[in-house]
Amino acid sequence: MKNNKIFTIMLITVLMVSATGFSQQKITVKGSDTMVILAQKWAELYMKSNPSASIQVTGGGSGVGITALINGTTDICNSSRPMKQTEIEKLKARYNTLGVQIPCAKDGITIFLNEANKVQELTLKQLSDIYQAKVKNWKDVGGNDAPITVYGRENSSGTYVYFHDEVVKGDYAATVQTLPGTAAVVNAVKKDVNGIGYGGAAYAVGVKHAKVKNDTNGPAFLPTAESIGKGEYPITRYLYMYLRNRPTGENKKYIDWILSQEGQMVATEVGYFPYK
């Protein structure tokens, strides 16, 4: 009798699915904390128009997302940096594929200053010196006579890697306070009159943006749609989605929507920039 009841419940479930034609297509997205705000908004709007899709978005950092892609525990990896050759080799060893890289947006790494800081602009060299503790006082870069408190991201972050490779170009000082996520960096600088931090432009709320210039004699820019579109802002980068293989089915439909005009308008509205 009990077995008949179970069979009846199963049969009803099958009939309901058949009648409605509804079968959820689950997509998992993991990785870059910089991209979480954007990825969640993309997922929310896509699911609203496509109720058969179920998209789960989590952060953890670009490195965490890439590891998940290699381990087979996520469909899409979000990364604010390109995959390293060693990571590509691991992917190839496991799946016999080099993976698929899809640029999906642009971001300007913003330099966060406390609103009370009188410094308006910094060169790439000054930023490098600050993060290597070669410059330790704001007076040396046009500010008040006060020690600089330096905040940054943890080493699993793609933003940490990009800023290290493209701006610092040396070892981060031991005095850099690493925080788990760009929101934490912004909050720290907001409370610290002598603080400086970096991160995605979309997070820069309640802090001042420092203009950045390539060298002392060049023009300084804020990360705006215009300066990033023209390639003028010195710390501009692509944001990527990575997959093990070329997308098919619901994955392809979702990615095509992200790359469409509608998906790219969402990127702009959230505080990022179109990928082209």
pLDDT tens digits, one per residue of 13-41: 333 333 334 457 899 999 999 999 999 99
What is the pTM assigned to this prediction?
0.83
275 assigned to some structural domain: no
208, 254: one domain = no
pLDDT for position 159:
94
Which residues, at least 6 apart from 243, have a Cβ–Cβ distance to it below 8 Å? 69, 75, 76, 77, 99, 100, 102, 251
17 assigned to some structural domain: no
170, 204: one domain = yes
Domain extent at residue 245 = 24-106+238-270
75, 39: one domain = yes
pLDDT tens digits, one per residue of 188-222: 999 999 999 999 988 888 999 999 999 999 999 99
pLDDT for position 96:
97
221, 112: one domain = yes
Q: What does residue 90 show for φ and ψ, rounded to 5 degrees? A: -65, -40
pLDDT above 70 covers a percentage of the chain that reads 92
71 assigned to some structural domain: yes
2 assigned to some structural domain: no
pLDDT band at 179 (very low <50, low <70, confident <90, very high): very high
pLDDT tens digits, one per residue of 72-118: 999 999 999 999 999 999 999 999 999 999 999 999 999 999 999 99
182, 258: one domain = no
198 assigned to some structural domain: yes
160 assigned to some structural domain: yes
168, 229: one domain = yes
Instruction: Report the distance separating Cα 75 and Cα 251, nearest Å.
Output: 8
How many domains does one find in the chain?
2
pLDDT band at 225 (very low <50, low <70, confident <90, very high): confident
Q: What is the CATH number of the domain that holds 252?
A: 3.40.190.10
133, 207: one domain = yes
Instruction: Report the distance separating Cα 199 and Cα 152, nearest Å.
Output: 8
Candidates 182, 57, 45; CA nearest to 108 is 182
pLDDT for position 23:
58
57 assigned to some structural domain: yes
187 assigned to some structural domain: yes
Please state the rounded mean pLDDT for residues 144-166: 96
